[in-house]
Amino acid sequence: MSDDGDGKQRPNAKYKLSKPDNAEVPKDGLPFYYNRERRLAKAPKDVQDLYKEKKPNRFGLISVLISDKPKKILFFSIIVICVMIWVLGLLGYFDSSYTLDGNKLKISASVFEGTTIVTVNKTIKNKVKNPYTGAVDVAISVPISVQGNVPVQTDENNFPVFYHKIFFSLEKEERYSFAVPFESNELLMVLQTEKYTLKIKVSTEEVHTKNTK
């Protein structure tokens, strides 16, 4: 039995429950009225932070060292100090060696069991075409005691002088060691070739031996 037969109409007869086959559909598809950005703009800040895209944190040594202002200052201060040390090293401020007629010398003195031993390490300097070879006269003494800027008068026994001679060859590196017949915290040394003279002061170091059973 149909509604038409009874002469009655459906309550929703005036409403179209479906679109006809010839209905026009928008080119972009169905229209949507939901706007995500608009809703997030009205949401609380905590909710907005949850929806913000965060880049994954990648571990890096540099990024850790300069993560804040104090660390940046410390990091760049260390770099500046390292550069200064490197430059001063190139200029020879930290080099304890001496130069004698084209040869580089490192001189040290040590006291072992009451005997003062002087060691001379010779290296031919780079880019030197004709370094000195031959005899080198060495004179070693102790500093004169001073009281009120006036040297204390001493006899020959209290002011000893030791003479020695070493020979430089064309070997790239050479080492010379010899004993000095007196003890002192400092030694005055004079090394002389045919043309040049080197005068230096060397501090002595005490060498201790370990007792083994």
pLDDT tens digits, one per residue of 156-184 = 556 788 999 999 998 999 999 999 988 88
Is residue 173 included in any domain, yes or no?
yes
The whole-number pLDDT of residue 31 equals 55
Same domain for 194 and 126: yes
Is the pTM of the predicted complex or chain greater than 0.75? no
The whole-number pLDDT of residue 174 equals 93
**Number of folded domains in the chain?**
2
The whole-number pLDDT of residue 213 equals 46
Higher pLDDT, 18 or 195: 195
Same domain for 82 and 50: yes
Is residue 211 included in any domain, yes or no?
no
Same domain for 175 and 123: yes
Q: What is the CATH number of the domain that holds 179?
A: 2.60.40.150
Residue-wise pLDDT tens digits, 43-59: 787 777 777 765 556 65
Which domain does 85 fall in, by range?
Answer: 40-90
Domain boundary at 90, 113, 131, which?
90
Is residue 58 included in any domain, yes or no?
yes
Same domain for 106 and 45: no
Higher pLDDT, 68 or 179: 179
The whole-number pLDDT of residue 147 equals 43
Is residue 154 included in any domain, yes or no?
no
Q: Are 73 and 102 in contact (CB under 8 A)?
A: no
Q: Are 140 and 189 in contact (CB under 8 A)?
A: yes
Average pLDDT over residues 76-94: 80
Is residue 166 included in any domain, yes or no?
yes
Same domain for 134 and 83: no
Q: Cβ contacts of residue 136 below 8 Å, gap of 6+?
A: 100, 165, 166, 167, 168, 191, 192, 193
Higher pLDDT, 66 or 151: 66
For 84-140, the DSSP string reads HHHHHHHTTTT---EEETTEEEEEEEEEETTEEEEEEEEEEPTT-SS---EEEEEEE
Most confident of 15-29, 124-138, 154-168: 124-138
How high is the mean pLDDT of the chain? Answer: 76
* Gap between the Cα atoms of 120 and 177, Å rounded: 6
Is residue 29 included in any domain, yes or no?
no
Which range, of 16-25, 66-75, 109-118, averages the lowest pLDDT? 16-25
Is residue 33 included in any domain, yes or no?
no
